Amino acid sequence: MTRLSCLLVLTLAIHTLQGAELPDYQYDEYEYKDYKDPGPADEDYSAQVEEELEELPVILTEPKTILVDLGTTIVLPCMMDFLPNQMPVMWTRPDRQVSSLLAVGGNIQAQDYKTRANVETNDKGSILNIGVAKVEDAGQYMCKLGVQDGNNNKASSVTHSVSIRVPPSISSHSDTSIETEKGKMVLMECRGTGTPAPTVKWTKVDRGKMPDGSYEVEGEEVIIRKVDRHHAGVYRCTADNGFSKQASKDIDLRVLYKPEIEVEEVFIHTKAGNEAELVCHVHGFPHPQVEWKKDGQPVVQNNKIKMQKLHSKYSLTIKAVEKSDFGKYTCHAKSDRGSASETMEISGLAGSAEFTSEPSGSEPSSYLLEWSVVSYSPVTAFRVETREDGTTAWTEATAVPIPDGPYHYAGKLFLKDGMKEATRYEARVYARNDEGWNKPNPVFNFATLGTDLDSTTSRSRPKPNVNQEPKQEGITAGGANPLVSTLLCVVVLALRLFI
């Protein structure tokens, strides 16, 4: 066939095709379902959804700043007024430069989140859950609609900020055992790390008080200027930043000091046949050896005498006391740091008098002195000694004992003769029972009406000097010269004779 013939056939074919009526392709007959991953290449998708919806959903969730413990689950809500089935919700990391897309709809897109994250969706919104939180999970998370309106409405997205809380730890501390001597300065340190930075607090393990008197001290250091035995013990520093688990470290402080002894009673009053107990509290480090002595001789434990130790308390118990058991007992403690002793006395004598009258009297020239004593045998007599404050001589009187309950005897003495107004006095009382006269009690100070016993200004007269003769006091005010007074008297008598 010639070239001209071929060209004619091709022209007829094209013309025939142009005149033919092809059937219309009805796009509306196709229903697109479960479209889960709209991409920028599908430019008609957003327009199609907008045409089907009268209005877009509004995100109701407010931006949150969330603090999550390391290893726990991050829960990020994105709730709306409604969410159509065909509209996807996207989760992104806007603070990331690469791979910022986390999820679209219910599909996790980021590779490092696939095994530990999931998205819960319903008609009210989307919730992103990220398990086993890591440090690198800290940052910003944005939830936004897969379809955006043309006004760039902020209600179509929300951004949450997540911080990962790292558990606290003790990064550095003082030695776990510190040994020092009494009176020296001690520094204990404990420093914590974590995110956020933890707060460090100190307590005493035995629930005792801290050196400043409180039960808890905040700070990384504890300084004791002059350490003593009361400061010894285990101190615990605790770092806490709100994580579910705290970090702590114990430091044992030991104070070296010689033995120290405290006694409960110096005088133990009893009678033959009764039981008597002597108690001393001994402290020291290293721990001292304790020995009991009577009148300088070691006490031996037997069926009658029992020795016990409970922590720092040492006791000596004597059953069925005899008169031969009366005497002075010594609690003696010794260690490498030194020694100490305290003496107690078992006695059948009456106890010291305890005064029950008010120190400040209510009368200007009299005073009622009252007291009470304890005695395990009947008190048969009281001897009372009084004197004006500042003098040396005692005025003696007696009083009759008055039984006042089991083993208690009361006494009273009304003081009137020679009592002065607004004057201070001193008194002491002796008591006699079957064992004899007891030792006098500490002096009791009292005063007649008009004197303030609490005043720091003493009104006591100076004690006289026995080597100096007493001064003669004139009869006129101001202490006039005796010669002048005599001449005046002579002049007055002469005038009367002439008149």
Determine the residue type at 235.
Y
- β-strands 381-388, 424-433 pairing: antiparallel
pLDDT at 52: 55
* CA distance linking residue 204 with residue 232, whole number of Å: 10
- 24-43 pLDDT tens trace: 333 233 233 333 344 443 44
Is 221 buried (19+), middle (13-18) or exposed (0-12) by CB count in 10 A? middle
Mean of pLDDT values over 348-365:
94
- 408-442 pLDDT tens trace: 999 999 999 999 999 999 999 999 999 999 988 78
Residue 363: which pLDDT band, with cuts at 50, 70 and 90? very high
Q: What percent of the chain has pLDDT over 90?
A: 67
Q: Which residue has the tokens 């290449």?
A: 41
pLDDT at 208: 83
pLDDT at 492 over 80: no
pLDDT at 26: 34
Residue 272: which pLDDT band, with cuts at 50, 70 and 90? confident
Mean pLDDT rounded to a whole number for the chain: 82
pLDDT at 202: 96
Mean of pLDDT values over 120-132:
94
Of 101, 117, 104, the closest CA to residue 37 belongs to 104
Could you give phi then psi for residue 113, rounded to 5 degrees? Answer: -110, -5
pLDDT at 477 over 60: no
Structure tokens at 106: 């219910």
pTM attached to this predicted model: 0.57
- 297-342 pLDDT tens trace: 999 999 999 999 999 999 999 999 998 999 999 999 999 999 999 9
Per the model's pLDDT, the better-predicted residue between 499 and 265 turns out to be 265
- 216-264 pLDDT tens trace: 999 999 999 999 999 999 999 999 999 989 999 999 999 999 999 999 8
pLDDT at 149: 60
Q: If you compute the radius of gyration of the chain from its CA atoms, what whole number of angstroms results?
A: 51
pLDDT at 392: 95
Per the model's pLDDT, the better-predicted residue between 166 and 455 turns out to be 166
- β-strands 221-224, 139-145 pairing: unpaired
- 369-408 pLDDT tens trace: 999 999 999 999 999 999 999 999 999 999 999 999 999 9
Question: Is the four-CA dihedral 230, 236, 240, 243 of positive or negative sign?
Answer: negative
pLDDT at 87: 85
CA–CA distances in Å: residue 311 to residues 125, 207, 280, 282, 335: 67, 17, 11, 9, 16
